[in-house]
Amino acid sequence: MASGDIDVAYVAKLARIALNPGEIEKFGAQLGALLEHVAALEKLPTADVAATAQVVPSVNVMRDDAVVPSLARETVLAGAPQREGSYFRVPRILAEE
Amino acid sequence: MSGLLDGAASEIARAVNARESSAAELVDAALARVGERDAAIGAYLTVADDLARDRAKRVDARIAAGESLPLAGVPLAVKDNMCLEGTRTTCASKILENWIAPYTGTALRRLLDAGAIPIGKTNLDEFAMGSSCENSALGVTRNPWDLGRVPGGSSGGSVAAVASGTAPIALGSDTGGSIREPAAFCGVVGFKPTYGRVSRYGLIAFASSLDQIGPIGRSVGDCALVYAAMAGVDPCDATTVDRQVEPVAARPREDLKGTRVGIVREFALGALDDGVRSVYETAYRDLEKLGAELVEVELPTADYGVATYYLIAPAECSSNLARFDGMRYGLRVEGPDVGATYELTRAAGFGDEVKRRILIGTYALSSGYYDAYYVRAQKARTLIAGDFARAFERCDVIACPAASSPAFEFNAKSDPVSMYLMDYYTIPMSLAGLPSLSVPCGYLTPNGSANPLPLGLELTAPLFADAALLGVAGAYERATKHSARHAPAAAP
């Protein structure tokens, strides 16, 4: 788990955040420092330990498959950056032929 | 009327239920105080005048109709990462700066049903990521004890509202210490209940396996009253636990006879500055004087808490915050295509700390690094929780500092890792899901400072021992009276 060099530009692409070259350099150094700190975990004997996703155990919490009222369409669309009638208006996701 | 605001929440409710006062009068008094005091403090991002007056009328009507409500007319400040229908809910982020919540979260709704009146939404580190409130994109909050210092974070606005006397009670959220550290910095009580005790429905998610809503108040009793009104299973949050909530004792314990208090060997006070150390030595002695038996316990993996947390919490946040893409709500910055729109929206909408954590989390979850970082951290979490379980075989509660220092000055922690280490004493408990609180335990005046600054004692109990924890903290508070002191900004 060497801290190594993080390809910040690639990680930012995965995270869908546009970064300029100055930010890539700044975040790269800061993430490097954090990874040095978390490298301490290598010292813990974790080989035979189960992973904990959540401390209070709960399994398959089910509910009845019943129809209940939901938020009104107008209420939800009121927060939309752009709308068209009763739809969210979003950029085209498929290129034209 | 404003005198009532300085009393216990239970006393406010009693006066309103007995019709010696009214919710409307109390809300007017609280809003007047916000007007007088909050320009200097900056606790609130939104003051909900109209909503508060409307809710107050409804509470007064219910009282007139013969109802008796546990929080009748008690003004409440709400951290601005909790949804309150019809009110701006920002997470102190530009990406949600103008978003109006379309519904009210469960914990908050239960408090409103119990008669509490929401007077405003309070500042926080953006998306609750921070320990000083300096990461807010929407405003500066100052510590009511010393305006040159931070209130702590991330629930900085909520603790500052209580400490400056504008609201007797507040809601905060705690992921790695975000209720306890600021409560310590501002000399109020802040309680993080057992994970799963209070519904997270309507709390805008940061790290879902750690986030927990909790009360902030001037006393343990006030926090207990708020906790009792909102705890319990909620069908809207499948992680709430369907198990009877142990009743909180109506009267504080007189002493701590028969209670074993664990002192953690790895948290030796020698690491602290002299003044801080002496406050905690006195606090431990005071627990002993109350009849508690002090026992040394070991948490050998607690030292790995911060490292573990800064993999797990960012991993969960990178996933949770993926929803802020400019499509259905919040800010949108148009680019030439949909991918660029996502990237420009998130670049403009998120501040540096949020970006840092999304980047860390994305990296820790990415192909080739998942086992080395995320899975290893989850295994470390197992070890940390196991250490606590063993320690609680020997004690009933654990006592330790809530933070290694009193509130620091603005811009004192420019390096992210040094800020992350502020949560050294609070993170292990969060990773283990334990109920944990900070109660004022003394004051010290740093060199060059004009004002005394509060320190907090952190008390932690086993899972679901929330009521017992409040009992121990109540006895300590009653005997030491540290909570009774007011910040200069709240001078009557």
Instruction: Please judge whether B238 and A31 are an interchain contact, meaning their C-beta atoms are less than 8 angstroms apart.
Output: no
Beta strands in B182-290 (DSSP E): 189-192, 212-217, 260-264
- Confidence class of residue A2 from pLDDT cuts 50, 70 and 90? very low
Q: Residue A61 and residue B238: Cβ atoms within 8 Å?
A: yes
- Report the catalytic residues of B: 79, 154, 178
**Residue B372 touches partner A, C-beta closer than 8 Å:** yes
Peptide bond into B154 cis (omega under 30): yes
Contact call for residues B193 and B227 (beta carbons, < 8 A): yes
Distance separating alpha carbons of residues B368 and B361, to the nearest angstrom: 14
Q: How many whole angstroms separate alpha carbon B256 and alpha carbon B297? A: 18
For an interface test with A, the pick among B379, B388, B427, B434 (most A C-beta atoms closer than 10 Å) comes out as: B379
Q: Do residues B326 and B333 lie in contact, with contact meaning Cβ atoms separated by under 8 Å?
A: yes
Q: Compute CA distances B340 → A22, B153, B324, whole Å.
A: 19, 33, 14
Pairing between strand B397-401 and B453-460? antiparallel
Contact B332 A82 (CB under 8 A): yes
**Cα of B99 vs its chain's centroid, Å:** 23
Q: Would you say the C-alpha torsion B372, B373, B376, B380 has a positive or negative sign?
A: positive
DSSP character at residue B103: S
Query: Which tokens hold the place of B407?
Result: 């509130």
Residue A25 in domain: yes
Residues B87-96 as b/e (b if ≥16 CB within 10 A, e otherwise) read bbbbbbbbbb
Task: For residue A5, give both structure tokens.
Answer: 């060099």
Q: Could you tell me if residue A19 is inside a domain?
A: yes
**Residues B24 and B236: beta-carbon distance below 8 Å:** no
First vs last C-alpha separation in chain B: 12
d(C-alpha B236, C-alpha B238), whole Å: 6
* The pair of three-digit structure tokens given for residue B355, joined into one six-digit string: 């970006």
CB contact under 8 A, A58 and B339: no
A26 domain-assigned: yes
Tell me whether residue A16 is in a domain: yes
Phi, psi dihedrals of residue B146, rounded to the nearest 5°: -160, 110
* Residue A22 within any structural domain of the chain: yes
Q: Are A85 and B334 in contact (CB under 8 A)?
A: no
Measured distance CA(B357)–CA(B313) in Å, rounded: 8
Q: In the predicted model, what is the mean pLDDT of chain A?
A: 90
> What is the rounded distance in angstroms from the CA atom of residue B191 to the CA atom of residue A79?
33
* Residue A78, in any domain of the structure: no
Cα A77 versus chain centre, distance: 24
Q: Are the Cβ atoms of B328 and A54 closer than 8 angstroms?
A: no
pLDDT value, residue B27: 98
Q: How many Å apart are CA A42 and CA B372, to the nearest integer?
A: 9
User: In total, how many domains does chain A have?
Assistant: 1
* Tokens standing for residue B102: 């379309």
| Beta pairing class for B117-122 and B75-79 | parallel
**A58 in contact with chain B, both atoms CB, cutoff 8 A:** yes
Over the Cα atoms of chain B, what is R_g?
21
DSSP codes, chain A: -------HHHHHHHHT----HHHHHHHHHHHHHHHHHHGGGGGS--TTPPP-S-SS----------------HHHHHTT-SSEETTEE-----S---
Each residue's pLDDT expressed in tens, for chain B with a length of 492 residues: 578 999 999 999 999 999 999 999 999 999 999 999 999 999 999 999 999 999 999 999 999 999 999 999 999 999 999 999 999 999 999 999 999 999 999 999 999 999 999 999 999 999 999 999 999 999 999 999 999 999 999 999 999 999 999 999 999 999 999 999 999 999 999 999 999 999 999 999 999 999 999 999 999 999 999 999 999 999 999 999 999 999 888 788 999 999 999 999 999 999 899 999 999 999 999 999 999 999 999 999 999 999 999 999 999 999 999 999 999 999 999 999 999 999 999 999 999 999 999 999 999 999 899 999 999 999 999 999 999 999 999 999 999 999 999 999 999 998 898 899 989 999 999 999 999 999 999 999 988 778 899 999 999 999 999 999 999 999 999 999 999 899 988 876
Is B341 in Cβ contact with A91 (below 8 Å)? yes
The burial of B250, by beta-carbon neighbours within 10 Å (0-12 exposed, 13-18 middle, 19 or more buried), is given as exposed
Rounded distance between C-alpha atoms, residue B43 and residue B28, angstroms: 18
0.80 surpassed by pTM = yes
What six digits make up the tokens of B141? 């909050």
pLDDT above 50 for A3 = no
What is the rounded distance in angstroms from the CA atom of residue B232 to the CA atom of residue B245?
A: 6
Q: Which residues of B touch A48 (CB under 8 A)?
A: none
pLDDT of A55 higher than 70:
yes
Residues of A in contact with B413 (CB under 8 A): none
Structure tokens at B333: 């910055």
Surface of A (62-81) touching B: CB under 8 A: 63, 71, 75-76, 78-81
DSSP-derived secondary structure letter, B424: T
Q: Is B371 part of the contact surface with chain A (CB cutoff 8 Å)? A: no
Alpha-carbon distance of B238 to A78, in angstroms, equals 28
Instruction: Report the amino acid identity of residue B261.
Output: V
Tell me which chain A residues have a C-beta less than 8 angstroms from the C-beta of B307: 37-41
Chain A contact probe: residue of B329, B359, B429 with most A CBs at under 10 A: B359
For residues A6 and B165, what is the distance between their CA atoms, to the nearest angstrom? Answer: 47
Give the pLDDT score at A1: 38
**Neighbour count for residue B450 (Cβ, 10 Å):** 8
Q: For residues B308 and B313, give the distance between their C-alpha atoms in angstroms, rounded to a whole number.
A: 9
In a 3-state reduction of DSSP, which class is residue B366? Answer: coil
**A53·B358 Cβ contact <8 A:** no
Distance CA B101, CA B92 (A): 14
Token pair belonging to B436: 């944990």
- Residue B92 — left, alpha, or beta (φ > 0 → left; ψ -120 to 50 → alpha)? left
Separation CA B440–CA B322 (nearest Å): 38
Phi, then psi, of B303 in degrees rounded to 5 = -60, -20
Contact status, residue B217 vs residue B210, Cβ threshold 8 Å: no
Q: Which residue has the tokens 């953006």?
A: B126
Find chain B residues with C-beta within 8 A of A81's C-beta. 326-332
Q: What's the ipTM?
A: 0.94
**B362 closest CB neighbour out of A14, A49, A75:** A14
Task: Enumerate the residues of chain B whose CB falls inside 8 A of the CB of residue A40.
Answer: 304, 307
In a domain, A35, yes or no: yes
User: Can you list the domains of chain B with their CATH numbers?
Assistant: 2-230 (3.90.1300.10)
Domain housing A26? 8-43
Contact B417 A33 (CB under 8 A): yes
Q: Note whether A37 contacts B: Cβ–Cβ < 8 A.
A: yes
| pLDDT on residue B1 | 57
Intra-chain end-to-end CA distance of chain A, in Å:
45
Task: Provide the pLDDT for residue B489.
Answer: 83
Mean pLDDT score, A47-61: 88
Minimal CA separation from A30 to chain B, in Å: 7
- Does the residue A95 lie in any domain? no
> What per-residue confidence (pLDDT) applies to B492?
63
Q: What is the pLDDT of residue B38?
A: 98
